[in-house]
Amino acid sequence: MSVALLDLEAVRARFSALARGLAFFDGPAGSQVPDEVVAAIATYLTDDNANLGGTFETSVRTESLVTEARVATAEFLGCSAEEVGFGPNMTTLNFALTRALGRELREGDEIVVTRLDHDANVAPWLHLARDRNLTVRFADIHDDCTLDWADLERQLGERTRVVAFPLASNAVGTLVDAPRLAALAHEAGALAWADAVHYAPHGPIDVAAAGVDVLLCSSYKFFGPHLGVFYARRELLERWQPYKVRPSPEHPAGARYETGTLQHELLAGLVAALDYVASLGWDAIQGHERALGERFLAGVSDRCRLYGLPTIEGRVPTFALTHDTLSPRDAANRLAQQRIAVWDGNYYALEIMERLGLPDGAVRIGILHYNTAEEVDRLLEALAAL
C-alpha cells in the first residue's frame, strides 16, 4: 500500500542517471539528480549568467533568482526568507557560523556534541575550543546506536552554550528527537545547533516545530547540486558579527554570512530540486522508503552484522554493516563489480566508528525513494553470495 503512493516508473524516468544499470545505494554520500535540475543549471548559464547589482536584464533576472531561492528554501525549512543563506557546502558554512558565534564565547564556555555526529558538526567546535579555550563535551550513545539521553543531560551545565546534534546519523541512520533535544538545550540556556544534511532527503523539516536555533543541510543530498544551505534565527544573524568583506550586504540577515559571489547557477538547480521534492510529496517518499527499508532488513544475510536499530522504526533507511570474513573495502569492491554502489569507511562519522570499535569503518547502504524493490533484492542476493 505504501509503495503504491509513489509512481516509481514516472519518478525514475525523470533521472537519466538511473538508466545505466547501476544500483545506487550510495545516497548518503550524494543523491542522483533529476534532469530538470540539470536543465535549470544549464538554462541559467546560457540565458541569465551575470553578477548582482547591474541594471541590465541578466543581472536583474539573477537578482530575482536569488530571491526565489531564498523563498523556496524558507518554505522547505519552515522559516522566513531572511533567515536562510547559501555557501559552498555545509562544512564551510558551519565553520563560518561557529566562528561568528565564537566572538561571543568566553573562556570556560562549553559545547556539547554527540557521538552520532558527522565531523562537520564536531570539528568546527573542536577548533573553536582550541582557539577560545572552550570545552567540548561528548554525549554518548547506547549499543543500538540511539542517543543516550541520560548522558546528554549529564553533559549540560551552567556554562553550556551550544548543543550540536544531527537530525539523523549519516552512518547508522538513527533519528534524533529534535524538539526534545532543543528543549533540553534551551533549559540549559544553550543554542540547539542541528545538522540536517543526512535527514533532508528523507522527510520534512520544520525548524519552528523542531525548536532549533541553527540548522544546516546540503542540496546535493536532496537531489540538487553541490550547495550548502543554512537557517539561523534572525535575532542571532543580526546580532553576530560575521567574517566578511566590508561592502557586503547587511540585508537580508542571512546574506551577511555569504562571502563572495554566490553560485547562481546552483541556486537555479536548488530551486528545481525543491520543486521536484514538492511534486512527489513526503508521504509518497517516506512510504516507499519505509517499504524498501523493511524489505532490506527482512532479508539481510546472517553473515552480515548490522549496526544500529534492527527495525525501520526510529531510523532512516541507511544501514551500516560488516561481513564476517571480508573487510568493508573488499565487500564494497565486490559489490561494485556487480554494479551495486555502496560506501565503505567511516564517512566522516569518526566518533561513532570509534564507539563501535570499527577502525576500518563499515559498509554503508543508503536507500532513497528512487530505488526499486528489485534493486534491493539484487543487493540482498549479492550480500548473501559474498
Sequence ranges of the domains in the chain: 3-33+281-384, 40-277
CA distance 70 to 113: 29
3-state DSSP helix/strand/coil % of the chain, to nearest 5: 45, 15, 35
Backbone dihedral region for residue 379 (phi beyond 0: left; psi -120 to 50: alpha; all else: beta): alpha
CA distance 317 to 312: 7
> 40-277 maps to which CATH number?
3.40.640.10
Q: Across the strands, what pairs with 218?
A: 228
CATH among 3.90.1150.10, 3.40.50.720, 3.40.50.300, 3.40.50.620 for 3-33+281-384: 3.90.1150.10
CB 360 within 8 A of CB 327: yes
Q: What's the pLDDT at 5?
A: 83
Q: Across the strands, what pairs with 307?
A: 320
Interacting residues of 246 by C-beta distance below 8 A, sequence separation 6+: none
304 phi and psi angles, rounded to 5 deg: -110, 135
User: What digits encode the pLDDT tens for the residues 335-347?
Assistant: 999 999 999 999 9
Where residue 4 falls among pLDDT bands split at 50, 70, 90?
very low
User: What digits encode the pLDDT tens for the residues 212-247?
Assistant: 999 999 999 999 999 999 999 999 999 999 999 988
Which whole number is the average pLDDT over 304-315? 97
Q: What is the DSSP letter of 223?
A: T
Side-chain-side CA neighbours of residue 13 (13 Å): 5
CB 328 within 8 A of CB 383: no
Supply the pTM of this predicted model: 0.96
Where residue 250 falls among pLDDT bands split at 50, 70, 90?
confident
Q: What's the pLDDT at 246?
A: 86
